[in-house]
Amino acid sequence: MNDNGCIHLNNFKAAKGTHPYKIVHAFFVSCTSYEARKYKATSCLCFTCGKPGPRMHSCLHCIFFGCYAGHIQDHSKTKKHFLYVDLSFGNIFCAQCQDYIYDRELTDIAVTHRLKEAKSLGLYVPYTPWLPNNNEAMALRRLRKRRLISPHTTIGLRGLQNLGSTCFMNCIVQALIHTPLLRDYFLAEKHKCKAQSSGKCLVCEVSKLFQEFYSGAKTPLTLHRLLHLIWTHARHLAGYEQQDAHEFFIATLDVLHRHCMNGVEDIEKKENGRCNCIIDQIFTGGLQSDVVCTSCSGVSTTIDPFWDISLDVAGPGSLQACLERFTRAEHLGSAAKIKCSNCRAYRESTKQLTLETLPIVASFHLKRFEHSSQIDRKISAFISFPAELDMTPFMSSHRRAVDMGGADNNNAPQGIFEDNRYSLFAVVNHLGSLDAGHYTAYVRQMKGSWFKCDDHMITRASLREVLDSEGYLLFYHKTVLEYECDVS
């Protein structure tokens, strides 16, 4: 395929524009409506042999369908029409150049039609590869060494100086830096700050931090500006004493979320009213709570957003076992009666938590620090966690399917297959006691490549070493991403 187009296509567009291509692509390639699909199924036959292929093409100059194997060439000779649309992929074939021709304007039209096709079929948006524009192509030609990341590269790996018991911050920063979609967002410079002073915007500071991590430099970074911004906007964390890494993680997400919403970026609300900032797109899920009256079996359901899931650690076990306990129905007892809207009286009930929607990044907090009136202690019981995790058993849709006597594909809507598999990419550990402890982190730089981050020290680690660690915060990234249609 020619990447530079051809004079014949350019002359055709100058004379007739892109409308002929739009019509052919909408009706016979993407089929953006039921009528188009029906018309293609009944009318898209070769005008010469009457067959549906192979490799059916449509003439751009007139109404003619022909097979690639000779029939469109015959049409070119008799009618002097040289441009054709491949009805399988939407590519333009020039009979004079004897090549497929690339054109950016026509490619954009095809992408729009594919989105409409997916929406009309009730499917997720199909994957389309990234196509560089002229400026990006020129940059790639100048920086040839940056095209491919070698297996032994250290790009994206930098140590962080401890500013005085700030290992909790360093670990959370390492986890965020190695969150794939967050990395892609900031390295693509998607953040457009509209604040009066970018020096007060945490999103701007994080954007600069990503640039520093992926600049190729290896010297440790000092995060005094980031720490100051967090202190300014989350004053309960101010001070140089040791802080809880989980609390810092939630506070950081909260400040980033607020800075995205407070006029820093244009925020569009989805139909369900959920914020569409990059933080909520990646980290927000929906936690469903079903309270069932034991007298009339009436159900009261609420769905609340969450950024992470905190799990009790009762003793040695596994992450899956902790999740099973978290989603198990619990009898609330006589001391916690609720007013049933059906019975119109206070009744005993059961409560069950399940996951209505899953975030792209699932963050798990193992509650190892126990604080009570009698004692404060750390629970160091070993909790095993997998490199690959399937969240299907903990979904609300799966529980509904089980209740109805089946659990195929977690009862997903018809025509949509939901893949709830996750892959581990970061682990934060707490070493030592409750009073005298230290945080370290393991991060996955790329598939199969793990590193231990201990403040300014970065060392290579094995997956076995990661899975054998104690685990305090666990970060999983969804293996397969579904894209929602948003085409009117």
Flag whether pLDDT at 415 surpasses 70.
no
User: Number of C-alpha atoms within 13 angstroms, CB side, residue 405?
Assistant: 0
Domain ranges of the chain: 7-121, 166-265
CA 161, CA 191: separation in Å to the nearest integer? 26
CATH number, domain 7-121: 3.30.40.10
Cis peptide before 54 (omega within 30 of 0): yes
User: Catalytic: which of 61, 81, 233, 438?
Assistant: 438
Flag whether pLDDT at 303 surpasses 60.
yes
Query: What DSSP string runs through 370-407?
Result: EE-SS-EEE----EE--SEEE-GGGBHHHHHHHHTT--
Tens-digit pLDDT profile for residues 260-291: 765 434 444 444 556 788 999 999 999 999 88
Beta-carbon contacts of 96 under 8 Å, excluding residues fewer than 6 positions away, are: 6, 8, 82
Tens-digit pLDDT profile for residues 102-122: 888 888 898 888 888 877 777
Q: Is the CB of residue 157 less than 8 Å from the CB of residue 461?
A: no
Flag whether pLDDT at 351 surpasses 50.
yes
Local confidence band at 381 (pLDDT 50, 70, 90 cut-offs): very high
- Is 438 an active-site residue? yes
Per the prediction, the chain carries an average pLDDT of 84
Helix (H, G, I), strand (E, B) or coil at 464: helix
User: Catalytic: which of 167, 201, 277, 322?
Assistant: 167
Report the pLDDT averaged over residues 325-332. 89
Tokens for 54, please give them.
Answer: 């192979």
Flag whether pLDDT at 488 surpasses 50.
no
Terminal-to-terminal C-alpha distance of the chain:
32
Residue with tokens 């010469």: 48
- Is 293 an active-site residue? no
Report the pLDDT averaged over residues 129-146. 73
Flag whether pLDDT at 318 surpasses 50.
yes
Strands 449-454 and 361-367: unpaired
Tokens for 45, please give them.
Answer: 């036959």
